[in-house]
A and B are shown apart, each in its own frame.
Chain A
Amino acid sequence: EAGVAQSPRYKIIEKRQSVAFWCNPISGHATLYWYQQILGQGPKLLIQFQNNGVVDDSQLPKDRFSAERLKGVDSTLKIQPAKLEDSAVYLCASSPGGNSPLHFGNGTRLTVT
């Protein structure tokens, strides 16, 4: 089966600019996650979708971050405006739900200068 697809792989922007990341989960996976992985740290959950509804966005900085999964399939994560501390790898993962494991994409590496 095809894995979780993410684009772009790399992005460099200046602070205060906006940026968007795209994720296409494995076909049929109802649950989709966005994680932020800052250099030297473990991934931190930003938001979790179940189909097109948000299950958990308690750690999403809502003043600048937004995410959507309008048709319950692919998802976009947006940052506006970006700050230097947003430099990180943004990982998307999907799961069929229940006791099934998460499948991760290769991530988007964001550098904010």
Chain B
Amino acid sequence: AQSVTQLDSQVPVFEEAPVELRCNYSSSVSVYLFWYVQYPNQGLQLLLKYLSGSTLVESINGFEAEFNKSQTSFHLRKPSVHISDTAEYFCAVTLSGGYNKLIFGAGTRLAVHP
């Protein structure tokens, strides 16, 4: 069975500083990996995904994540955060071949301070 571990429940950071949100997964088969963002009182929005190909994937708002198969990690990074990035971030995994049965981590609360 697949599982996801997000190593930090909360990450405080100052505006314009770099940030890394850590995610490790466990699976005996090939998986797809995702990062979702949840703003207060809203549903989850897909931030970026890794299906195959280049191990470095990017979002339109400056986030990137790198798939590392040997370390079973999919950490999310941004070189310079904004106040508007304050949100809950969820790492998720599903079996390769479909988006069925997304399994989520517990989430990381990113708090960006001025």
Interface residues of A (CB under 8 A from B): 4, 31, 40-45, 48, 55-56, 91, 93, 95, 98-102, 104-107
| Assembly CA distance A100 to B94 (angstroms) | 12
A101 touches B49 (CB 8 A): yes
A43 touches B42 (CB 8 A): no
Chain A residues with CB under 8 Å of B41's CB are: 106
Write 30 A-B pairs (CB below 8 A) sorted by A numbering: A4-B43, A31-B100, A40-B9, A40-B106, A41-B107, A42-B6, A42-B90, A42-B92, A42-B106, A43-B44, A43-B90, A43-B102, A44-B104, A55-B100, A91-B43, A91-B44, A93-B44, A95-B99, A98-B99, A99-B51, A99-B99, A100-B99, A101-B49, A101-B99, A102-B44, A102-B46, A102-B99, A106-B41, A106-B43, A107-B43
- Top 10 closest pairs, chain A to chain B, by CB: A42-B104, A104-B43, A104-B44, A106-B43, A101-B46, A43-B104, A42-B106, A105-B43, A42-B105, A42-B90
A56 contact from B4, B43, B101, Cβ within 8 A: B101
List B residues 79-114 near A (Cβ within 8 Å): 90, 92, 98-107
Q: Taking CB as reference atom, which chain A residue is nearest B88?
A: A42
Interface footprint category on B: 20 to 34
List B residues 55-99 near A (Cβ within 8 Å): 90, 92, 98-99
B29: min CB distance to chain A, Å: 17
